[in-house]
């Protein structure tokens, strides 16, 4: 990212009277927190703002200020300026270029190394711990005061994508931004409680089933957890409750890479995590997905057992090459 790109994006948002914000399917704290933070900031500038996500908001994020403004229907009519937040490509929003007017101005704000730079203006910083960091910089550039509501959303974005500041993507800049957000008067203890300390019973049941189906493979270096469609149906659990379960596999002693495979309708959604050296973005990109070196995901259109075999073979081959 250059100052020119940042200033150009800010200028286009200043000029716009209407803006639509889009965030990715299977939303997490970073995409929702960043979207809401930016949306509230643009409203503070007097803009008409439409915030879209095709999937339900995870229940642990239901406390976020402005969350009821999120919509699951596309805007009609589309504003000219479309801001995509935390999205590597249009497919992550279940959209194609033909789904919106040809004269739309696409703004792309993201931190994923696998971002496809699909916008007319692309502010992509893979060194940022979360898109929430970049959203913070954009809001500062727009000259919007950090209200407690805006800061709560941005803090949640950063908190979730850094795993409470414990993941390797956390930098000194991350802490500096978090400190400024805390200085705005947010109740960071309450945020942490809502995000991490209110586990629904259905999620614990999903974890129990996932652990019952856990396999430790590749001489103990690969842990694979699976959840079948029937697991979600029998428990009455939405897919978002699978978020975070993969860490129970990743933290096993001796494990370098972990995978969670969720059977959702006719596809398999795969989450990948690694600990120290394995590049899971490389694996996810191979299957049309992406993310970061230590956290990535993809979707496989095949039966669950075939997906497990394919993923095991691919990861074993990469593990055999060893740490470079």
Tens place of pLDDT for every residue, the chain, 324 residues?
A: 568 999 999 999 999 999 999 999 889 999 999 999 999 999 999 999 999 999 999 999 999 999 999 999 999 999 999 999 999 999 889 888 889 999 999 999 999 999 999 999 999 999 999 999 999 999 999 999 999 999 999 999 999 999 999 988 999 999 999 999 999 999 999 999 999 999 999 999 999 999 999 999 999 999 999 999 999 999 999 888 998 899 999 999 999 999 999 998 889 999 999 999 999 999 999 999 999 999 999 999 999 999 999 999 999 999 998 865
- 19 and 138 Cβ atoms separated by less than 8 Å: no
Structure tokens at 324: 């470079």
pLDDT of residue 1: 54
In angstroms, rounded to a whole number, what is the distance separating the alpha carbons of residues 110 and 92?
A: 12
Whether residue 77 has a cis bond before it, omega within 30° of 0? yes
DSSP state of 27: -
315: left (phi over 0), alpha (psi -120 to 50) or beta: alpha
**Is the sign of the CA dihedral 190, 45, 32, 59 positive or negative?**
positive
What's residue 84's pLDDT?
98
The residue among 109, 101, 99, 88 whose CA lies nearest residue 35 is: 109
Q: What is the pLDDT of residue 91?
A: 87
Domains of the chain: 3-196 (3.90.1640.10), 202-321 (3.10.310.30)
**Cα 285 from Cα 51, distance rounded (Å):** 28
CB 131 within 8 A of CB 111: yes
Closest CA to 70 of 45, 38, 44: 38
Query: Bridge-partner residues for 83, per DSSP?
Result: 21, 107
Tell me how far CA of residue 149 lies from CA of 45, 184, 190, 237, 305, in angstroms.
15, 9, 13, 29, 45
DSSP letter string, 130-155: SHHHHHHHHHHHHT----HHHHHHHH
On whether the CB atoms of residues 196 and 164 are closer than 8 A, the answer is yes
Nearest Cα to 210, choosing from 221, 198, 223, 196?
223
């Amino acid at each position: 990212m250059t100052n020119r790109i940042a200033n150009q994006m800010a200028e286009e948002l200043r000029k716009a009277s209407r803006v639509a914000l889009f965030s990715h399917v299977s939303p997490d704290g970073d995409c929702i927190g960043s979207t809401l933070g930016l949306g509230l900031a643009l409203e503070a500038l007097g803009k008409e703002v439409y915030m879209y996500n095709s999937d339900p908001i995870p229940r642990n994020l239901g406390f976020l200020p402005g969350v009821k403004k999120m919509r699951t229907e596309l805007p009609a009519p589309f504003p000219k300026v479309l801001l995509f937040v935390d999205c590597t490509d249009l497919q992550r929003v279940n959209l194609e270029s033909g789904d919106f007017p040809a004269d739309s101005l696409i703004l792309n704000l993201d931190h994923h190394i696998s971002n496809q730079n699909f916008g007319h203006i692309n502010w992509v910083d893979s060194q940022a711990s979360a898109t929430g960091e970049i959203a913070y910089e954009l809001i500062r550039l727009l000259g919007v005061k950090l209200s407690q509501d805006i800061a709560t959303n941005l803090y949640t974005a950063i908190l979730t994508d850094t795993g409470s500041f414990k993941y390797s993507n956390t930098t000194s800049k991350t802490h500096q931004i978090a400190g400024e957000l805390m200085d705005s008067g947010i109740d960071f203890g309450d945020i942490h409680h809502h995000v991490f300390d209110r586990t629904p019973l259905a999620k614990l049941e999903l974890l129990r089933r996932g652990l019952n189906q856990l396999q430790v493979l590749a001489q103990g270096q690969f842990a694979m957890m699976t959840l079948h469609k029937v697991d979600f149906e029998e428990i009455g659990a939405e897919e978002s409750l699978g978020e975070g379960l993969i860490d129970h596999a990743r933290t096993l002693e001796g494990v370098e890479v972990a995978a969670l495979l969720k059977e959702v309708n006719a596809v398999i959604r795969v989450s990948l995590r690694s600990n120290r050296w394995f590049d899971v973005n490389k694996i996810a990109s191979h299957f049309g997905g992406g993310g970061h070196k230590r956290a990535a995901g993809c979707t496989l259109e095949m039966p669950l057992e075939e997906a497990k075999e394919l993923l095991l073979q691919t990861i074993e081959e990469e593990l055999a090459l060893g740490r470079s």
